[in-house]
Amino acid sequence: MTVKFEKPEPHVALVTIDRPEKANSLDPPTLSRLAETWRAIAADDGIRCAVLTGAGDRVFCAGMDMKATIGASQALARGERLDDESFQGLRSAETALLAGFDLQTPLICAINGHARAGGFDLMLASELRLAVPEATFALEEVALGLYPTGNSTVLLPRQIPWVEAHRLLLTAEPIDAAAALRIGLINEIVEGHVLLERALGLAARIAQNAPLAVRETRRGVRELLTMPLGEAYLRQEQLGRPLRKSDDAREGQRAFVEKRKPVFRGS
């Protein structure tokens, strides 16, 4: 199995791309499995936060496995029939990369090495990002004559400064973890031996909060980002009003008064 799914804590999912011998690249079976995993997480209200990492200590994800996918992609573009495994994998690519697929759950990337192309795209779909000092980041599509059709042209200019986004998109040159931190692409640089511990600790902290409030806050940020200010203020009130009547809100207020930890049930 090239994608591992675990629950190290009751409300936290850990997803690991497990092809270290292939730089954790995405071949058709891995794309299918990753897409299935994301669908399962999105459908599970018990999962309050997810963590994504790569196996090994060298590469987070190198993007598409070119040897395994480029021929199939070209055959599909020519209208030729593919074997079922290749067809299902390519059809799953957008969901696997979280390009246009809403996980509906906060995602933390524990970037254990190089994040290139599709690996970079996966990172862009996350809310929080930790990286080892040795990590590098690159979008190499233009150097291959390709358009970056994952998340990068959609999300990258919304997440970092315009000029920095274009440097990554148009030069195809990598940047190191220090540069990624400076431009706001990642949250933190963490030594490899504590990377996963730190990421899972953040996930557990998110999972302790009221799950409805976390999900709606995450949803609100994404919805409001491109709205005019007037519409955004109206929409945030629409999102917030039902939460004020929720059982979790009442529990949170009682726990505050009683000076204890709240017990949230997602209702």
At 183-210, the pLDDT tens digits run 999 999 999 999 999 999 999 999 999 9
pLDDT band at 72 (very low <50, low <70, confident <90, very high): low
Residue of higher predicted confidence among 249 and 224: 224
Chain segment 106-161, per-residue pLDDT in tens? 999 999 999 999 999 999 999 999 999 999 999 999 998 989 989 999 999 999 99
Show me where the domains of the chain are located. Answer: 3-207, 210-258
End-to-end CA distance of the chain: 35
pLDDT for position 161: 97
pTM of the model: 0.92
Structure tokens at 61: 């994800």
Rounded to the nearest integer, the mean pLDDT of the chain is 91
Cα dist from 233 to 92, 159, 217, 229, whole Å: 36, 21, 13, 6
Task: Report the sign of the C-alpha dihedral through residues 7, 9, 11, 12, in that order.
Answer: negative
Asked if the model's pLDDT at residue 49 lies above 90, the reply is yes
Lowest mean pLDDT among 84-98, 110-124, 203-217, 235-249: 84-98
In this structure, CATH architecture of domain 3-207: Alpha-Beta Complex (3.90)
Query: What's the CATH class of domain 210-258?
Result: mainly alpha
Q: Which stretches of the chain are DSSP H helices? A: 28-43, 66-77, 84-91, 93-96, 118-124, 152-159, 162-171, 177-182, 192-208, 211-224, 229-244, 247-258
